């Protein structure tokens, strides 16, 4: 299984949707970086992704984007191969 990293915060419905989608694909472990608890991590996230919003999802070292990007990737058939 691939290594999943997700920049997230406590109150984020898109983060919860991303977790549900990944769980439906068999993902049991997500390495979460809570930008609400560690503000310096938001700066790190923005530097790595060029984006300000959560979630920001990485599969292995590939930046996927947010929940909408993750869902679009799944609908296009590209998520399963990355998770394998």
- For 79, other C-beta atoms within 10 Å of its C-beta total 20
**What pTM was estimated for this model as a whole?**
0.95
Cβ pair 25, 83 in contact under 8 A: yes
- For 3, other C-beta atoms within 10 Å of its C-beta total 11
Condensed to tens digits (0 to 9), the pLDDT of residues 5-24 reads 999 999 999 999 999 999 99
Condensed to tens digits (0 to 9), the pLDDT of residues 59-76 reads 999 999 999 999 999 999
Q: Say how many residues make up the chain.
A: 84
Six-digit token string for 23: 């769980």
pLDDT of residue 10: 93
Q: Sketch the domain layout of the chain as residue ranges.
A: 4-83
The CA–CA distances, whole Å, from 37 to 9, 25, 80 equal 8, 28, 31
State whether CATH 3.40.50.12780 applies to domain 4-83: no
């Amino acid at each position: 299984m691939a290594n999943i990293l997700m920049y997230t915060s406590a109150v984020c419905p898109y983060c919860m949707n991303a977790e549900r989608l990944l769980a439906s694909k068999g993902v049991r472990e997500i390495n979460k970086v809570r930008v609400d608890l560690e503000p310096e991590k938001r700066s790190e996230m923005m530097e790595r992704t060029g984006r300000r919003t959560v979630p920001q999802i990485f599969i292995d070292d590939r930046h996927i984007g947010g929940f909408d990007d993750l869902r679009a990737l799944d609908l296009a058939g590209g998520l399963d191969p990355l998770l394998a």
